[in-house]
Structure 1
Amino acid sequence: SAVAGTLTDGESIRKLAADVDVLTVEIEHIDTTSLATIEAEGRVAVHPSPRTLATIQDKYLQKMHMSSVPGVVLGDYADAPDAAAVAAAGEKWGYPLMLKARTLAYDGRGNAVVKSAADVTTAFASLSNNGNVALYVERWCEFTAELAVMVVRARDGTTLSYPVVRTEQRDSQCHTVVVPSGIPPQMVQAAQDVAKAAVGSLWGAGIFGVELFAMANGSVLLNEIAPRPHNSGHYTMDACVTEQHEMHLRAVAGL
């Protein structure tokens, strides 16, 4: 079935839902209110759950949720409703800081590095569109490597993971994926444990791209989660028996 519309067009989403048994998403930036209504009606299975999509699409809410999950460790973060909040974070943690839009931020979009106290006002005004875009701020993370794990969650909540990979960024976008990752075995296990705990705390089925930071002390911090096939998992199309897109469809369909 095909319906022409946008991801925020609730009417088009409901038209599509009328012709299918299972509804899933290509990206999380979608009208979750309409999806929640469809899910509540009970005729169509919606995966991942609209509750998961709503939690993840707002990165500040995602951080708040994950901060309460046992086994998941995050870097420091804070809401940034105004420039004063950013300045307060700088006084507490020092500079640089990472300023991020709460929604519609990915592949480097919606991010700004605040290098010093002198940059706070300009950075906040620019990224927030003079207060019209909600922001939050993160303490600068001195990681040794960026890691990623594709985790699949079944309808019954069971989670399985693909291998841990090391990602190399160019212009804030994933450019190269290295697998095997070359990191110590204990860090591989820690990354898988964090990723599976994070995905296990969510709702509904599907595949999730989990981004992580490897720290010098051997710990692994959660960066963020994408509730869908992810660019760090495209290697599975050539390297794995079951690639990430097929695995996503199997999970949401209950196969």
Structure 2
Amino acid sequence: MDTRKVGVLGGGQLGRMLIEAANRLNIQVNVLDAPAAPAKQISAHDGHVSGSFKDAEAIRQLAKTCDVLTVEIEHVDTAVLAEIEQAGTVAIEPRASTLRIIKDKFAQKQHLAAHGVAVAESVDVEAYINGSNPNPNSNSNSSNSNNDSPSTDPSSSSSRTTALTTALTAIGRQLSYPYMLKSKTDAYDGRGN
């Protein structure tokens, strides 16, 4: 029997399926999530940690209860995972550096393109608004120096709306319509993807 314990950040439906498989292998899984999270409902033991899987202290607490730490969803504090990884007391899979790429969909596209994977042309809207290269994973080396970039100060709400509207219109001309606007971070099925 394997006596190692697995810690999982997040206890939703994927965490629940992971526990179902682990139970058949007699592997204890400790979950960090809300008390009534789906994964905790099928695994009654005292190794679970109640709290947010984005909370650094709660993640450290979970790490003390397990030998291997993984994630159910990538929306976690990667800085604390890197800290735990550096200490070498708990194996982190996937590594914190991998999770940083996974959790930022634009960085993920850049990473894939840099490694020869074909990806759809895309633009980082925030970078576009700030005047940096709007399309680093495109075959073209275009930039927004063509006066399409917003010149408003994005610090106020109305200026922000104007900047976004101007940027999205210019990006539409650049990529052509229709195009899809997606969240870079904190997105999942049905929200921002």
Please, what TM-score do these two structures have when normalized by structure 1?
0.41
Q: Out of 8-17 and 89-98, give the one that drifted further.
A: 89-98
**Pairing 1:69-88 to 2, within 5 Å after superposition:** 69-70=115-116, 72-81=117-126, 82-88=164-170
Which of 93, 98, 106 matches 1:60? 106
SS in 2 for 1:67: helix
- Where structure 1 has 5 or more consecutive residues not aligned to the other structure, the ranges are 112-255
**Pairing 1:1-255 to 2, within 5 Å after superposition:** 1-70=47-116, 72-81=117-126, 82-111=164-193
SS in 1 for 2:123: strand
The corresponding residue for 1:139 is none
Q: Give the residue type in structure 2 aligned to 1:13.
A: I
Structure with the largest fraction of helix: 2
Q: Out of 76-85 and 97-106, give the one that drifted further.
A: 76-85
- Where structure 2 has 5 or more consecutive residues not aligned to the other structure, the ranges are 1-46, 127-163
The corresponding residue for 1:160 is none
Q: Which has the higher contact order (CA 8 A, sep 6+)?
A: 1
Please, what TM-score do these two structures have when normalized by structure 2?
0.54
| CA displacement 1:199-234 (0-9 Å, x = unmatched) | xxxxxxxxxxxxxxxxxxxxxxxxxxxxxxxxxxxx
Q: Distance in 2 between matches of 1:83 and 1:55?
A: 28
The corresponding residue for 2:149 is none
Alignment RMSD: 1.2
Q: Out of 31-40 and 87-96, give the one that drifted further.
A: 87-96
Structure with the largest fraction of strand: 1
Q: Distance in 2 between matches of 1:86 and 1:66?
A: 24
Alpha-carbon contact 1:79-1:85 (below 8 Å) kept: no
The corresponding residue for 2:134 is none
